[in-house]
Amino acid sequence: MTAPGGRLTAAAVVAAGALAAGLAQPQLAAADGAAEAAARLGPAQLAGQQVVSGFSGTSVPPALRRRIRRGEAGAVILFGRNRATRAATRRLVAGLQVIPRPPGLRAPLLVMVDQEGGLVRRLPGPPVRSAAQMSRGGPRTGLAAGRAAGNLLRSVGVNVDLAPVAGVARRGSFLASFGRSFGARPAHVARMAVAFATGLRQTGVVAAAKHFPGLGAATQNTDDRPVTLGVPRSTLRSVDERPFGALVAHRVPMVMMATATYPALDPARPAALSPAVVGSELRGRLGFDGVVVTDALDTPALAPFGDTAAVAVRAAGAGSDLLIYAGGAAAAGRAAAALAAAIRSGALRRAQAQRSVARILRLRARLGE
């Protein structure tokens, strides 16, 4: 059930089930000094802490290692290209975490993968079943799948799973075609997504609900081309955003922004670059106060909106805390340099950057507890 404007009612939150109770904990445990630590950082450090770097191979690139040592990088994303064996992945992640870092930045680095299940698994192992297949077993299956994924990721040192997908799939959508959605019924998708995220939390792995405000109506993948979804605002709020509302109510720590454009919310900019979608819709209407991460910004979907530098500044200015650059450390470095220059010039407000980095540092502090 939703209140006027599509906001979830208390009854709808309760309906997510007792199974999700494990997720209903303080979202970002207060980490003493996070705001103070962020305030002490220079522009290059503030900028670098907001950029998530991909890279090639099974060893840390020297340039990325230097950025981490200077406090100018705090998060990485791993793909199949970084994996040789499970033991090699464990060594890679351990090598990242032991790189010395400046005071205030010594909490664990964020190490992310996409381990949704089915076709989208960066590490061999659970969950073997896709979201569509898990859905048939109900929330208990989702809980077990999230726990299994979390245990696998923890075994190699990964601490963030870019999952679950919270999109409500329409017939013919790319999410439905690849089994990446828990289904077509918003309430059921909400229960399944909350259950999966609960399983991750029980293992100490951060869940990132994606892709806000929902890609369930998309017939094309935003990894391949620009996508515009002409879904009415009322439908976005009552259908597509409903699972995200349940996840926010159950204190999911991270939400990923889509790179599709939603004219009903912002006719000019994709969600990841839109203050209206990040600020008004996710933070304002749904009340999310955790870490906002973008989908990969080095995607053809965003090519019409500028080069690496321009897109990075637009995403941070829209309110996203973490910006993913999947292609490699060089693009991530250019993005960080652009953000630092924008902070120095005032094109990006330093106070906003400090708030983003404080949120990130609080989340990282939790991982070190």
DSSP 258: P
Buried b (16+ CB within 10 A) or exposed e, 103-134: ebbebbbbbbbbbbbbebbbbeebbebbbbbb
Amino acid letter, residue 165: V
238, 227 Cβ separation under 8 angstroms: no
Cβ proximity of 148 and 97 under 8 Å: no
**Tens digit of each residue's pLDDT (9 = 90 or more) over 160-211:** 999 999 999 999 999 999 999 999 999 999 999 999 999 999 999 999 999 9
Q: Which two tokens mark 361?
A: 């540092």
Q: Which two tokens stand for residue 23?
A: 């997720």
Could you state, in order of their start, the residue ranges of all structural domains in the chain? 15-367
Paired sense of beta strands 160-161 and 120-121, if any = unpaired
CATH of 15-367, one of 3.40.1260.10, 3.20.20.300, 3.40.50.300, 2.40.50.90: 3.20.20.300
304, 360, 300, 292: which is closest to 327 by C-alpha?
A: 300
Residues 16-30 have pLDDT tens digits of 333 433 343 333 334
Query: What mean pLDDT is reported for the chain?
Result: 91
Question: pLDDT for 252-262, tens place per residue?
Answer: 999 999 999 99
pLDDT(280) > 70: yes
One-letter amino acid of 95 = G
- For the chain, how big is the Rg over CA atoms in Å? 19
Give the span between the Cα atoms of 340 and 42, in whole angstroms: 9
What is the distance between the alpha carbons of residues 263 and 266, in angstroms, rounded to a whole number? 5
